[in-house]
Structure formats: structure tokens, C-alpha cells
Structure 1
Amino acid sequence: MKTTIKLSDKVIIGIKKDIASGKLKKGEKIPAEPELMELYEVGRSTIREAIKTLAISGILKVQQGSGTFVTSKIKDETLLQRLKRADFEEINSVRLLLEKEIVRLACQHRSDEDVRLMQEHLQHRKKAIENNQQKKCAEADIAFHISIAKSSGNQVLSDLYENFTSVMRNFFTLRDAEDIGHFAQSQYSHESLAQAIALKNPKLAEQLILTILDNNY
């Protein structure tokens, strides 16, 4: 199940990508509203909302009677900034690559304390599900995956994965705040993943993380 993002955010991401790639250069006029509407398959109000947001951030400037111009380059981004303008498919593809390697290494290097922390986070996750606390459940879910990353023994990989957490939080909050069903459905898979890592079974751990990511949790 894919996460839905606001239509205006889709337009913002698209325009930022064009600026970052050099397709739209500083000082150039962006396409007119009708062209943008056709390009992104959205209505006029969505285009105007996106342009307003980019204008407030100083990336675009609206000149009455002349059009909208690029006023700032998007360069020297931090990794987190780059992730924030990525779309869901890009994030999920990279997350898949990272998590497969993370669980493989975790099976080799995890300590007993690492396993204890994983299980503790899963208990918090389970309790939040039982109490229908979506936000607490999302935080426990992220903490669980971070604990696996930290158990991998690769600090760079762990730090890289943590950069994904703020983006993941954003995707989680885009779901209905009261909808905790997807977390509940994947609780057993998460518990099985922790067990596979505890048993140092990389093949099973990789199968389980693929199942989890197929459901975007």
C-alpha cells in the first residue's frame, strides 16, 4: 500500500528536482500555470499553493505580469534535505537496500543487549497497538529498526539509516492518525525478525524484512 502525499507537495518536489538538476536555472522563468497543471495532472489551486510555498522559502519569485522565476539554486544539500524532497518510491527503494544489508550484518554482530533493546521496542509497539496510539506505535517502530541498524556493527550504515527516520515519520503521519491496522498486521513479522536476528539467521531475517517493506512498515 503506497503512502499518499499532498498534491501540492508532489508539485514542490518536482520543481525542486528540476532546479537541483539544472533543468530550471536561476533567473529562468518556470512554465506557466496551464503547462504545470498538465505536467503534474493537478488543478490550478494546487499549482498556486505549491508556487506560494516555494516563493515563501525564497526558491521562486512571482512577478505580476511577467511570470514566476527561479531565484535560488538548490545545491550543497545535506543528505536529510535531499531525502525530504525525494518521492516515496525513491525512499522505499533505498530503504530496501539498506535494510537488507543491515539485517544481514545484525545477524553477525548483534549482542545480547542489542536483542534485548529490539524486544523492548517491540513491546512498546505492541502496547501502542493495543491502546490504538498511532503516533507512539510509529515511534516504537522506528526505534526498533534503528536498534537493528545499531546492532549491525557498521556505524556509517547506522548513521545513514537514522537519516531516513525523519522521512519515515513523515510518511507515517500522512496516514490516517487513527489507522493503526497496518502496524497491527505486521507486529508478528517484526517479532519474527527480532527472533531471526537473535538466532543469527540472515536468510530468514532478509525474507522477513522484505515482507515488512512490501507492506511499507
Structure 2
Amino acid sequence: MKRARLSDQVVEKIRDDIQRKRYKPGDKIPAEPALMKIYAVGRSTIREAIKSLAMSGILKVQQGAGTFVNADLETASLEQRLQRANFEEINAVRKLLEEEIVSLAVAHHTPAQLAAIGECLLARKEAIAAEDRQACTEADIAFHMAIAHASGNRVLAGLYQHFTATIRSFFSKRALQGFAHFAMSHHLHEDLFKAIKAKRKKAALDIIRHILAHNY
């Protein structure tokens, strides 16, 4: 677990170096011994980090030639860009999306959409009662996705749909995202549902901002 966390740190450092143009698209990055000195970690940690970055398409490993920054990085698709973003970047965009989604859902939800949100909220509660962390994660994402559909804006809902896979991936790596974390925040999700149902926009926005501020 310690080595895995260390390799994640190296992944973020290499991403930052690419963003700062230390390594540009098409560039060959230093060999393992040099990377070990640059990031002050062992060979196995470097290899784990390189593997992770290669799987996400940021780096390309060419046998016999070395490891290169993906030359197509600047023209990557939205899904690829999301996979390469760090948690803070994802959360900042998620905040913008969710606030607009909640605002629109307050005004435009239908009875059927409201019922769907309520069903997801119930599933979240049942997952908490069962102490099933994976079920909690899926029910929580489904709850927010149902609100996105209730916004009445298919483009926003589609964008949020793209975000769900990335959010799921990030949250699965965070040690704090356990059963207790979902239980502690459930009342906020219930309050959000009630505010949307009652068409109380200010209250709904205050609640979603609180949820996002604490990464609930």
C-alpha cells in the first residue's frame, strides 16, 4: 500500500512536469536510473508509475527505444483528458457542473425524474445499512446522475455521464471513501432531495456546495 501510494505521487509529479512543458508531447523522458534520481524513489515505484501513465495514454513505451510523452496528447478526446486529470482538476469542473445541474433540476424536474432520484437515495441508504462500500459508491453516483437527468439539459447530463467513470476511479483510490464517509453524509443527500422537490433553489445550491466542499 505504501509503494502504491508513492507511485501515485510520482504519477502526479510526472503529470505536472508534462503540463509545465518539462516533457513535451513527442519527447523521450529520462531512463529509469535518471527518473529514480529526479523523483527520489526506487525502480519498482518508477515502473509502476510509468505503467499507470502508459495505460492512461499519457506515455508510450517503445521497446528498445524508450518511453515517450504521447505525441497526440494535445488533441486528446474529452474522455482521455479526464483520465489524465488530477483530482483537484476533476473536482473543480465537477463543482461547476453540479451547481448548474442542481439549479436546473430545481426548476425543471418531472414527477418521474423526482421518483428516480428518490429511488437512488433509498438505494444509497440501503447500501449504507448493509455496510457495502461498493454499493454505496454506485448508489451515490446514480443519485447525482439522476439529478443530472432531471436538469432537463441533455448536454449537461452527457458531460456528467463522462465524469462518472472518472469520479468512480478517483474515489475508489481514496482511503477516506469508506462506509462511514457515506453514512456521515447521507442526511445532506436527503436534504438535497427535499430542496429539489420543494423547488428551493438557494437551499439546494447551499447543500450541493457543502457536499462538494467535503468530497461527499
Q: Are positions 1:111 and 2:114 aligned together?
A: no
Distance in 2, matches of 1:211 and 1:71, equals 38
Give 1:27 shift: 5.4
Q: In the alignment, is the contact (CA less than 8 A) between 1:134 and 1:177 conserved in 2?
A: no
Distance in 2, matches of 1:174 and 1:52, equals 17
Q: Which runs of 5+ in 1 are unaligned?
A: none
Q: 1:80 maps to what in 2?
A: 79
- Are the structure 2 counterparts of residues 71 and 84 from structure 1 closer, same or farther at C-alpha, using a change threshold of 3 Å? closer
Deviation per CA, 1:142-182, whole angstroms, max 9, x where unpaired? Answer: 00000101111111111001111001111232245993011
Q: 1:126 maps to what in 2?
A: 125
Distance in 1, matches of 2:39 and 2:117, equals 42
Q: Are positions 1:153 and 2:152 aligned together?
A: yes
Q: Secondary structure at the match of 1:59?
A: strand
Q: 1:70 maps to what in 2?
A: 68
Q: Secondary structure at the match of 2:75?
A: coil
Aligned partner of 1:173: which letter? S
Distance in 1, matches of 2:69 and 2:178, equals 41
Distance in 2, matches of 1:52 and 1:33, equals 12
Structure with the bigger percentage of helix: 2
Distance in 1, matches of 2:155 and 2:88, equals 23
The number of residue pairs the alignment matches comes to 210
Q: TM-score if structure 2 supplies the norm length?
A: 0.83
Distance in 2, matches of 1:137 and 1:79, equals 27
Q: 1:210 maps to what in 2?
A: 209
Q: Are positions 1:174 and 2:196 aligned together?
A: no
- The worse-fitting range, judged by mean Cα deviation, of 123-132 and 26-35 is 26-35
Q: CA RMSD in A?
A: 2.9
By relative contact order (CA 8 Å, sep 6+), the higher-ranking structure is 1
- Are the structure 2 counterparts of residues 123 and 79 from structure 1 closer, same or farther at C-alpha, using a change threshold of 3 Å? same
Distance in 2, matches of 1:157 and 1:22, equals 32
Give 1:9 shift: 3.7
Q: Are positions 1:7 and 2:6 aligned together?
A: yes
Q: In the alignment, is the contact (CA less than 8 A) between 1:55 and 1:61 conserved in 2?
A: no
Aligned partner of 1:187: which letter? H
Deviation per CA, 1:86-137, whole angstroms, max 9, x where unpaired? Answer: 1111111111111111111111101111111111101000000000111111
Q: In the alignment, is the contact (CA less than 8 A) between 1:114 and 1:147 conserved in 2?
A: yes
Deviation per CA, 1:47-95, whole angstroms, max 9, x where unpaired? Answer: 232234556777133648xxx4417412432211111111111111111
- Are the structure 2 counterparts of residues 39 and 118 from structure 1 closer, same or farther at C-alpha, using a change threshold of 3 Å? farther
- Are the structure 2 counterparts of residues 21 and 41 from structure 1 closer, same or farther at C-alpha, using a change threshold of 3 Å? same
Q: 1:61 maps to what in 2?
A: 62
Q: Secondary structure at the match of 1:70?
A: strand
Give the share of equivalent positions with the same residue, in percent.
47
